[in-house]
Amino acid sequence: MGAQIILCDPHRATVIGLNRKHALRGIQMTSPDIRAGVALLIAALSADGKSIIHNIEQIDRVTRKSMNV
């Protein structure tokens, strides 16, 4: 999507976004778990273009449960 990601250790990462001159770009990605999936979803919503998130079932299940659907 264009941001720089530094893996600090297996449990932490630092994400350095783009400046306002360059927007995040939509891409295809896969959600490994609920926390990462929500982060990907937020990034996809703010990106220019089309983003596709695979393995979204965990996020969908939690969203439906919280909305009582």
**What is the per-residue pLDDT across 16-62, written as a single tens digit (0 to 9) for each?**
776 766 778 899 999 888 888 888 888 898 888 999 999 988 787 77
User: What per-residue confidence (pLDDT) applies to 36?
Assistant: 85
Report the alpha-carbon distance of residue 56 to residue 53 in Å, rounded: 6
Pairing mode, strands 28-30 and 52-54: parallel
Q: What is residue 1's predicted lDDT score, i.e. its pLDDT?
A: 81
pTM listed for this prediction: 0.67
Q: Which amino acid is at 27?
A: I
User: Rounded to whole angstroms, how far apart are CA atoms 23 and 50?
Assistant: 13
- Mean pLDDT, rounded, for 3-23: 78
Question: What residue spans define the domains of the chain?
Answer: 25-69
Tell me what pLDDT residue 9 has. Answer: 86
